[in-house]
Structures are given as structure tokens and as C-alpha cells.
């Protein structure tokens, strides 16, 4: 069995992955600090976090040359939970 070969655009995909991870980290930091209330409604913030998780996963699959994973249902509230589950729970309870 042969190993996956590195594609000619793997470096580009890794750079976009790093950018997506920084953007997602920024949204999580907004969530944890409470500053999100100045910029988003609760629903908008959760949508942005879910979207950034999908984007990050897509770039990760391209950077790793692995096939994309099946996307979970959009109604699953745990799908795009940030790394800090407490912040998301606090956001949902507010």
C-alpha cells in the first residue's frame, strides 16, 4: 500500500488552515470574554463558530490530503462547540 503523496498545494492549504484556526480562536476568545455581545447576537455568534469549524475542518482535510469527513446535522448543538465548552454553555444559558 502506498502512502499519501504531498500535493503541490499542501503548503498553501496549511497556510489557509492556520488562518482559519486563528479566526476560530478569535471567535472563541470573544465568546469567553463576553465581548461578543458588542458585535453579534447569540444566534449569529453560534452560526459564525459553526461556520468557522466547518471551514477549519475543510482546510485540515485538504492540508492532510485526507478525504473530507461527513458533516453532522446542522441541528446538532454540539457540532461546533468551541474548545471551551463552559463558555458555550454560558452563552446558551444567558
Average pLDDT over residues 11-40: 90
Rounded Cα–Cα distance for residues 6 and 65 (Å)? 7
Distances (CA, A) of 15 to 2, 5, 19, 59: 26, 18, 6, 9
Interacting residues of 31 by C-beta distance below 8 A, sequence separation 6+: 45, 49, 82, 84, 87, 88, 91
- pTM for the model stands at 0.59
Rounded Cα–Cα distance for residues 42 and 25 (Å)? 17
Instruction: Write the pLDDT tens digit of every residue in 38-74.
Output: 999 999 988 988 999 999 999 998 888 644 444 544 4
Domain range summary for the chain, segments of one domain joined by +: 10-68+75-93
The conformation of residue 36, written as its DSSP 8-state character, comes to: G
Helices H, strands E: what count in the chain? 3, 0
Q: What is the largest CA-CA distance in the chain?
A: 53
pLDDT recorded at residue 46: 87
Amino acid at each position: 500500500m502506498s502512502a499519501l503523496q504531498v500535493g503541490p498545494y499542501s503548503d498553501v492549504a496549511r497556510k489557509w488552515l492556520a488562518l482559519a484556526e486563528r479566526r476560530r480562536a478569535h471567535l472563541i476568545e470573544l465568546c469567553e470574554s463576553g465581548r461578543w455581545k458588542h458585535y453579534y447576537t447569540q444566534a449569529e455568534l453560534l452560526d459564525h463558530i459553526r461556520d468557522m469549524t466547518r471551514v477549519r475542518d475543510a482546510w485540515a482535510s485538504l492540508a492532510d490530503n485526507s478525504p473530507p469527513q461527513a458533516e453532522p446535522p446542522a441541528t446538532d448543538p454540539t457540532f461546533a462547540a468551541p474548545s471551551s465548552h463552559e463558555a458555550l454553555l454560558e452563552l446558551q444559558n444567558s
